[in-house]
Chain A
C-alpha cells in the first residue's frame, strides 16, 4: 500500500512565523503535490513537483514556497504565516508514469495561524 505521511496532524503558529510542513511518501513516486482545503472551495493546488529539485506553481502559490531535495520528501514553507493561511493542508503523490495519474493523499495537517 502507498503510504503518504505528514509531519503533524495539528499545528498552531503565530502570525509572521516561518512554518514548515513536511510530507514523505514511501512508494518511489515521481510526482508530489501540496493542496489546501477550505470549506466551500474544495481542494486548491499550491505547488507540485515532478522530480527532485523541480517545482511548478499551482493555482494559489502566493505566500508559499516548496523544497524537494530528495525524491521521497516534499516540504511546504510558509515564509511569513498569516491568518488567511489557516487551513487544512494535504500532501499527495502519484507515480507519474504511463497512465498512473492516481494521487494518494496523506492524512492532512490542520494549521491554525493566530
Chain B
C-alpha cells in the first residue's frame, strides 16, 4: 500500500533548540495531519492541513502542506522537555474516503 516516509526514526535535541521533521511520499495527498503521542497514550492531533502550500501554526508548532502535495513538514521551536514523544504524520489519498495513511513516527527526545 501507499506509504509515508518519516526519518530518522529517533531524534535527540537540546532543550531550547528548534527541530524540523519531514514526511514524504511518492503519491499525492489531499490532506496532511500531524499527531503527537505521549508514552502509553493515544495520538493527539496537533495540526491539520488541507491546501497545498498552506502554512499553519499552533503555538510553538508550525506545519506546512508541500506545494507538490507529496510532502509536509513540522517545525517545533524552542523545544521544552514536554515535547518528548512520538510524532506521526498522516495523509489522506484522493478517493480514500475517510481513511488515513500514517507514517511510522519519529521519537523525539529533549535533553534538559
Chain A residues in the interface with B (C-beta under 8 A): 4, 30-31, 40-43, 45, 48, 50, 58-59, 90, 92, 94, 96, 99, 101-108, 110
Contact with A along B67-98 (1 / 0, CB 8 A): 00000000000000000000010101000011
Tell me the bound Cα distance from A58 to B97 in angstroms. 13
Interface size class on chain B is 20 to 34
Do B98 and A101 touch (CB < 8 A)? yes
- Mostly helix, strand, loop or mixed at chain B's interface? loop
25 A-B residue pairs with CB within 8 Å: A4-B42, A30-B98, A31-B98, A40-B104, A42-B104, A43-B102, A45-B99, A90-B42, A90-B43, A92-B42, A94-B98, A96-B98, A99-B31, A101-B31, A101-B33, A101-B98, A102-B45, A103-B33, A103-B98, A105-B43, A105-B44, A107-B42, A108-B40, A108-B42, A110-B40
Q: Is the CB of A105 within 8 A of B42?
A: yes
Q: How long is the Cα–Cα vector from A107 to B97 in the complex, in angstroms?
A: 24
A102 neighbours in B (Cβ, 8 Å): 33, 45, 48
Chain B residues near A (Cβ < 8 Å)? 1, 31, 33, 35, 40-45, 48, 50, 88, 90, 92, 97-100, 102-105
